[in-house]
Amino acid sequence: MENEVKSPKDIAIELKNDVANQIKPVQDAVDQLSVEMQRIASGSTVEAKKNLVDVLEAKSELKTFRKGDAKVEVKAPIDMLRANSVGDSQSLIAAGSPINTPNQLTHVRDFMRIGKLSKPTYKYDRETAVEGSAAVVAEGAKKPKVSFKMTPVVANAAKIALYYKLSTETVQDAPAFTYSLQGRGIELVLQEEDDQLLYGTGVGEEALGLFTAATAFNAGSLRVENAQVIDVLYAAITQVRKSMFRANAIFMNPTDIAKMNLTKDADGRYLLPNILSNSASTIAGVTIAGIDAVNEGEFLVGALDLAVETFSVEDLHVEVSGSNEDDFITNKVTVLIEERLLQAITRPAALVKGSFATATAALMAA
């Protein structure tokens, strides 16, 4: 039929299909890169970043952002964008070895195993106490009973998100776009993630934080003359060990680490070279991590491999759209970065928290 007039609905369907056809090659390429990056978990930071840039540069479809109609969701694991080797890191955690991530900010997730969860809620049992113990028994005698006291808990996933605007020119330049994602956007999300994983209340939209559920520092019968930060951390490691766990991480504020490293004796000599290894800051073989989200003056020592189960309900992902607000007429695009994360703390006894001031005083108490 000649000169057929299409309805607005038909036009809208055609436009939608046209946009989808333009975006599909970009999504397929990024998804393929995600799989490849997980397969070669040992790839270097430079190589991983270059792969992401190459994919973006190779796809001229990025120019569709200028039309204001297109939206691309990069469903890539966070560690691809940060170029962190999760596989290697988790092997080191399991072995109790220090984790080295040079030239990269350290985050709580670098010390955790993160699984996948399909639902935003998770029911689990939290171990609160152990009653009884094993013993030698005579043949035919009744065996001793050990009871693990449990409390049922329901954990909720926390959604962490932000958005910001970029010029269309920046998005079309793959290295600049990659730098924006890696250098600022994702790091800001990770900083809030750290705060949730450490101090979240577990109420409402918040995750349950390690500090919220951890066991308070208890010096017990241990006493130290002129106690220092090092003594407090060693005592906390011992407390975790007495609970039948082995600590594998110490979280401190970077300022407190600096103060500790700069501590001198009466003759002006630094104390720590005799305590800390040359490759990574450790005490009794336990890695010290400087986490910006930790409050100054506080510390947390724990066996994170046994105390915590962390799940990704929705992987950190990036969406870009040119149709938000007045983006189309101002030559801007909106970049949205978000994730959903859930944390279950199964054994609070494997986590010890405290303040250096209080713990130091307790170690020197008569």
pLDDT in tens, 195-213: 999 999 999 889 999 999 9
Helix axes 229-242, 254-261, angle to 10 degrees: 120
- The pLDDT assigned to 3 comes to 54
Strand segments, DSSP code E, in 98-187 are 114-116, 121-131, 147-156, 158-167
Whose CA is closest to 32, among 11, 66, 6, 58?
A: 58
- The pLDDT assigned to 67 comes to 38
Check residue 264 and report its DSSP letter. B
- The pLDDT assigned to 357 comes to 95
pLDDT in tens, 35-89: 554 554 434 445 545 555 554 554 444 444 433 333 334 333 334 344 333 344 4
Q: Which residues contact 204 (CB under 8 A, 6 or more apart)?
A: 156
pLDDT in tens, 284-296: 889 899 999 999 9
Residues in the chain with pLDDT < 50? Answer: 37, 40-45, 48, 55, 58-102
The number of angstroms, rounded, from the C-alpha of 229 to the middle of its chain's C-alpha atoms is: 26
Q: Which residue has the tokens 């046994």?
A: 306
- CA atoms of 302 and 112, how far apart (whole Å): 11
- CA atoms of 60 and 25, how far apart (whole Å): 10
Whose CA is closest to 66, among 22, 36, 25, 108?
A: 22
The number of angstroms, rounded, from the C-alpha of 156 to the middle of its chain's C-alpha atoms is: 17
Q: What's the helix, strand, coil split of the chain in %, to 5?
A: 40, 25, 35
- The pLDDT assigned to 197 comes to 96
Phi and psi at 114, nearest 5°, equal -120, 115
DSSP string for 333-365: EEEEEEEEEEEEE--GGGEEEEEHHHHHHHHH-
Check residue 323 and report its DSSP letter. -
How much is the pTM? Answer: 0.71
Strand segments, DSSP code E, in the chain are 71-74, 114-116, 121-131, 147-156, 158-167, 215-216, 249-252, 282-283, 286-290, 298-302, 308-321, 332-345, 351-355
